Amino acid sequence: MKDLHIDGIWSDAGNHSDVLNPATGQVIEQVAEAGREEVDAAVGAARRAFDAGPWRRTTALERGELLRRTAALLVRDREELARTESLDTGKTLGEGRIDIDDVTNVFRYYADLAGKDAGRLVDAGSATVVSRIVHEPVGVCALIAPWNYPLLQMSWKVAPALAAGNTVVLKPSEVTPLTTIKLVALLEEAGAPPGVVNLLLGPGHVGAAMVEHPGVDLVSFTGGYATGEKIMTAAAKGVRRVALELGGKNPNVVFADADYDTALDYALMAAFVHSGQVCSAGARLIVQDGIHDRFVADLAARADRIRVGDGLDPATETGPLVSAQHRAKVEGYIESALAEGATLRAGGKRPEGPEYENGFFLRPTVFSGCTRDMAIVREEVFGPVVTVERFTEEADAIALANDTEYGLAGAVWTSDASRAQRVAGALRHGTVWINDYHPYLPQAEWGGFGKSGIGRELGPSGLAEYQESKHVYQNIDPVPQHWFKG
């Protein structure tokens, strides 16, 4: 059971944990669980590889080639990785394949970007001065990814970190570690030198030890807001850099003039893909008066027909929640919504049948009559639950959409091109879709306003997160200036 990867060596540890299939509740695999000793060893290996190893002195083109070779290996192992992701997270096999393709594209994008990052010249206002800005790696980076998109979210961190010349210590969620183990093996196969990529497994205390370690220069974390606050506090000691993506409570605004059938179809996808376990899920549906009642009725009817099941079953449209504990948390929000006066229009319960007995399933759930004071509207549920609010005027829609402490993503549906641009410009969210939902591009920044986090992943800014900018000022014709007369 050699699942930890430290300084180029696969090793075991004293403790182990079970990895479960959310669709069956059965153990898929046992994996090693790191302790403080392994954290020290991994950070130490990354530090040595950064300070004295060859990686820091490689060219950007050489680093890009490593990423490109890794992308080729991801293509080779696509089906195995997609199946493992489905088993580990519960998502459908089709979603798993999309994830692996997206991971491959992220590695390709940063492979290309690495070679184009040449810094810039600065006009110093003198013919005898050459002034330039160069980019250097930050150092040792602790990369901590969540359980809902374990491989994809890790790729958003590890690809730019390596492209910039950093060394890394990876920790996936203890709930879904399997594809990250495979990714580290692929990076090793692609030629990553010992100590450049290190892997630790285990629950929260392992991540906390990484964050607190004085040998770490940067922490990148995707996950919950409360954990993000703790990371910022820990990183303040030593003034280490942090990059945080902390989820969202995302508005999906539908105007009466939108293409009705398309908006309805995408509203279902926005809320229920991967059982709503998506940081950018369209969990807050905000619908104009003229179509509100019909839209809610049709949404509920369609939600009731969604086929819930094992992600490996081709007939399944959405899978289980990731764990029994997480399902219980989502069910708690459903109970509170009923207590606060929301109207249950669909779902709200576990599906019945012998095929569902041992898995962590929950029916897609629709609530109408929702108001801003309800916990289910304010807080990130992270499950197959959508709330519906109504509005009359454009200004009302904007006010509702922005009335959140989060600001990760949102969408507007309208056939009025001017209105689309006005509303998109007014929304305080890091990504705004117009007449669409959920697509992202590796070359476009991803991140949020407010409590949705700090910094950006993807795009050129995603590379900049892992770089230090240095100003090199050279006087090419120095002569005495006689600054002092003595």
The pLDDT tens digits of the residues spanning 238-249 come to 999 999 999 999
Residues 19 and 165 in one domain: yes
The total of other beta-carbon atoms located within 10 Å of residue 140's CB is: 29
* Whether pLDDT at 391 is above 90: yes
| 218-252: b (≥16 Cβ within 10 Å) or e | bbbbbbebebbebbbebbeeeebbbbbbbbbbbbb
Residues 365 and 409 in one domain: yes
Task: Confirm whether 484 is domain-assigned.
Answer: no
Task: Confirm whether 318 is domain-assigned.
Answer: yes
Average pLDDT over residues 168-193: 98
Residues 268 and 360 in one domain: yes
Q: Is 245 a catalytic residue?
A: yes
Average pLDDT over residues 19-23: 97
Supply the pLDDT for residue 177: 98
Supply the pLDDT for residue 378: 97
- Kindly report the average pLDDT of the chain as a whole number: 96
Indicate which CATH number applies to the domain containing 220: 3.40.605.10
Supply the pLDDT for residue 57: 87
Half-sphere exposure of 296 (CA within 13 A, CB side): 22
| Reported confidence tier of residue 35, pLDDT bands at 50, 70, 90 | very high
Supply the pLDDT for residue 458: 97
The total of other beta-carbon atoms located within 10 Å of residue 485's CB is: 4
* Whether pLDDT at 81 is above 80: yes
Supply the pLDDT for residue 1: 60
Domain limits for position 203: 4-247+448-472
**Quick one: tokens of 31?**
């994996």
AA identity, residue 292 = H
pTM for this model (two decimals) = 0.96
- The whole-angstrom separation of Cα 378 and Cα 251 is 11
Supply the pLDDT for residue 438: 97
Residues 240 and 275 in one domain: no
Supply the pLDDT for residue 486: 66
Supply the pLDDT for residue 343: 98
Residues 232 and 293 in one domain: no
Residues 59 and 159 in one domain: yes
Residues 52 and 167 in one domain: yes
Residues 126 and 235 in one domain: yes
The residue with greater pLDDT, 484 or 154, is: 154
> Phi and psi of 482, rounded to 5°?
55, 55
The total of other beta-carbon atoms located within 10 Å of residue 358's CB is: 16
CB 344 within 8 A of CB 282: no
Number of separate domains in the chain: 2
Average pLDDT over residues 352-371: 97
Average pLDDT over residues 364-372: 97
Task: Confirm whether 180 is domain-assigned.
Answer: yes
CB 134 within 8 A of CB 120: no
Average pLDDT over residues 387-397: 98
Task: Confirm whether 442 is domain-assigned.
Answer: no
* Whether pLDDT at 307 is above 70: yes
Residues 185 and 283 in one domain: no
- The whole-angstrom separation of Cα 475 and Cα 226 is 50
| Residues contacting 200, CB < 8 A, separation 6+ | 4, 6, 34, 38, 39, 42, 169, 170, 171, 206, 210
Indicate which CATH number applies to the domain containing 336: 3.40.309.10
Task: Confirm whether 485 is domain-assigned.
Answer: no
Supply the pLDDT for residue 485: 79
CB 171 within 8 A of CB 2: no
The total of other beta-carbon atoms located within 10 Å of residue 85's CB is: 28
Residues 370 and 462 in one domain: no
Average pLDDT over residues 351-379: 97
Which listed residue (174, 245, 380, 457) is catalytic?
245
Supply the pLDDT for residue 478: 92
Residues 255 and 230 in one domain: no
Task: Confirm whether 481 is domain-assigned.
Answer: no
Residues 66 and 210 in one domain: yes
Task: Confirm whether 120 is domain-assigned.
Answer: yes
Supply the pLDDT for residue 13: 87
pLDDT (tens digit, 9 = 90+) per residue, 122-153? 999 999 999 999 999 999 999 999 999 999 99
Average pLDDT over residues 108-132: 92
AA identity, residue 101 = D
Task: Confirm whether 486 is domain-assigned.
Answer: no
* Whether pLDDT at 410 is above 80: yes
* Whether pLDDT at 117 is above 90: no
